[in-house]
Chain A
Amino acid sequence: MLDEKTVSEIRKDFPALSLKVQNKPLIYFDNAATTHKPWSVIKKVEEFYTSYNANVHSGLHTLSEKATFALNQVRQKTASFIGSPTPEQVIFTSGATESSNIIASSLTSYLQEDDEIILSYLEHNSQSLPWIHLAQQKKIKTHFLTFDENGLFDISIFEKTLNSKIKLIALTYVSNFLGTIQPIKTIVLKAKKVNPNVIIVIDAAQAIPYLPIDVQELGVDFLFFSAHKMLGPNGVGILWGKKHLLESIYPHKLGGGALERLQENRLTLKPIPDKFESGTPNTEGIIGLGAAIGYLSQIGMKNIQHYEKLLNSYLRERLKEVESFEFVVPKTSVSHSIAMATGYLKERNSHDVVALLDSKGIAVRSGLFCTHLILQQNQSIPLSLRASLYFYNTKEEIDTFIKSLKEVEKTFSCF
């Protein structure tokens, strides 16, 4: 179980957490954008370059074999982490954005003019833009799922939208804007009941750092996420898919590593995952992801989830003391959200608030967080302030954040 004592020990594993910013100890509440890295991840990346740097796959020499072995071990580790039946269903990509684009471009021929798809107003641009672009090209009708006063997808509206023409549903598991945990399992059950062949694509970029995930239990067809939001290096992502789907779709790119046979002008591609991984992979990043998964597993995702709930509850309670702070969705419950609070100070521009908090060593984010669709459901949502916490954050940091926010309320210049 994580408690203040163990968290204080855990913090020593993260060198960036002892940084000073603007001569103040850093309080890092921008974890939804990216997380800091523990020494175990940093050292694994360093170890790759210093001990077995080589290109993977076809090399027969010792270093290449060692690098290939390490990469495949991470594939196995990732498969176990998300409950994948086989490691081959885990595809290494450059991030969540590339993963989403791979699925959209690979399913181009699957979707036809009269088909319909479902997205939501809470989708990050990395999930929404590839599908909106495809829908525009193919004249596909797009339904947008709304969220209710709790920040959760409106299931009754979803049920009414379902019909046999819906060929694809692409949704986020945890909203990067509101932090709300969406009822994906229920959505999958209801959708598959109406059309067992509907393809369900889940963006788990914000879910994977906080929730234990089992792709088989969720029943989704595709799921993707990024390494950097779960303590891993930048530039690495995971695309998971059901085996028959991955086998049936054509990869979005071709090149070295994907070719099985070339006879005259006839290409035969390697089986999954190789056919999707043309080109030299980000081996050091993938190996770093392996270390990140190891670190998270050691703490235990259930422990992380439990501690996050405590932080979330404390953060939301204390934010009520900040007179001019308004939550974007006030009714969000602690049990249906990760440790994230999104809101704004009345009459204040959130960029200015962030600049003032930065002068106090506090890192939070302002803006629309690449979720521009949200304005189509509610145009009155202003530029917002997002505080997103992780298991290395503490109640003391929340106290300082609240104290600083109260000071910012009374400070009228960010210069």
Chain B
Amino acid sequence: MLLEVHEKKILQKAYFEPFHKKKLNDNFPLYQSSHCSDSIRLEILPFEKQKIEVYFSAEGCQLSVASASLMCESVNHKTVEECLTLISQIRNCIKKGEKICFNQKLSYLNLFFQKPHRSYCTWLAWESLEKELYKFLH
């Protein structure tokens, strides 16, 4: 792969030592990729002052797990609105074919979002979180 040593280390850490990964049972909805066998469950817990924490369990390729881990880290202790804004910013970047440059850690996902087939693996966690956040709001 074409990754630089530093980027590689960040993504390896996200996969081998994922942030907020835990076992989630059937009570949590299962989101499955329509393109491959990747799947994810998410748990949103209230933190303080309308802020939240997100936990995940995932089955799938290393990209999907690393992406979910970086996501949980990025949205940690943010408000739901802030999380939704972040997801929207990423979606805009993908739609316009632009690189993620507003968040250094998430910019490590750029390479995967540029690969058409792997973008599904990388995006699964984010689109699942968006759905769960709207449920959480209501």
**A-side interface residues toward B, CB under 8 Å?**
349, 351-352, 355, 359, 367, 382-383, 412-415
The contact of A383 among B7, B37, B62, by CB within 8 Å, is B37
| B22 CB–A CB distance under 8 Å | no
Q: Kindly name the residue among B3, B15, B16, B37 whose own CB sees the greatest number of chain A CB atoms within 10 A.
A: B37
Q: Contact check, B37 vs A415: say whether CB atoms are below 8 A apart.
A: no
Q: Kindly name the residue among B8, B16, B63 whose own CB sees the greatest number of chain A CB atoms within 10 A.
A: B63
CA distance A367 to B121 in the complex (A): 12
Q: Contact check, A415 vs B36: say whether CB atoms are below 8 A apart.
A: no
The contact of B12 among A349, A355, A367, A415, by CB within 8 Å, is A415
Q: Contact check, B1 vs A383: say whether CB atoms are below 8 A apart.
A: no
Q: Could you list 30 A-B pairs, sorted by A, with CB under 8 Å?
A: A349-B61, A349-B62, A351-B60, A351-B63, A351-B118, A351-B121, A352-B62, A355-B1, A367-B36, A382-B37, A383-B36, A383-B37, A412-B16, A413-B8, A413-B11, A413-B12, A413-B15, A413-B16, A413-B62, A414-B1, A414-B62, A414-B63, A415-B1, A415-B3, A415-B7, A415-B11, A415-B12, A415-B15, A415-B62, A415-B66
Which chain B residues (1-43) contact chain A, with CB distance < 8 Å? Answer: 1, 3, 7-8, 11-12, 15-16, 36-37
Q: Contact check, A351 vs B61: say whether CB atoms are below 8 A apart.
A: yes
Report chain B residues within 8 Å CB of A359: 1
B residues contacting the other copy or chain, number (CB 8 A):
17
**Those 4 A-B pairs whose CB atoms lie nearest each other, nearest first:** A351-B61, A349-B61, A415-B11, A383-B37
Closest Cβ neighbor of A359 among chain B residues: B1
Q: Contact check, A349 vs B60: say whether CB atoms are below 8 A apart.
A: yes
Minimum CB–CB distance for A397 against chain B, Å: 22
Report chain A residues within 8 Å CB of B15: 413, 415
Q: How many residue pairs between the two chains, A and B, have CB atoms under 8 Å in the bound complex?
A: 40
Q: Kindly name the residue among B1, B3, B7, B8 whose own CB sees the greatest number of chain A CB atoms within 10 A.
A: B1
Closest Cβ neighbor of A413 among chain B residues: B12
Report chain B residues within 8 Å CB of A352: 61-63
Minimum CB–CB distance for A76 against chain B, Å: 39
Report chain A residues within 8 Å CB of B7: 415
Minimum CB–CB distance for B75 against chain A, Å: 22
CA distance A344 to B85 in the complex (A): 39
Contact with A along B51-79 (1 / 0, CB 8 A): 00000000011110010000000000000
CA distance A414 to B11 in the complex (A): 10
Closest Cβ neighbor of B59 among chain A residues: A349
Minimum CB–CB distance for B76 against chain A, Å: 22
Closest Cβ neighbor of A366 among chain B residues: B36
CA distance A349 to B63 in the complex (A): 10
Report chain A residues within 8 Å CB of B36: 351, 367, 383
Report chain A residues within 8 Å CB of B1: 355, 359, 414-415
Closest Cβ neighbor of A382 among chain B residues: B37
CA distance A367 to B118 in the complex (A): 12
CA distance A414 to B65 in the complex (A): 12
Report chain B residues within 8 Å CB of A382: 37
CA distance A410 to B63 in the complex (A): 18
CA distance A351 to B35 in the complex (A): 12
* Extra contacts besides A351-B36, A413-B62 (4): CB < 8 Å: A382-B37, A415-B8, A415-B12, A415-B66
Q: Kindly name the residue among A349, A355, A382, A383 whose own CB sees the greatest number of chain B CB atoms within 10 A.
A: A349
Closest Cβ neighbor of A383 among chain B residues: B37
CA distance A352 to B38 in the complex (A): 12
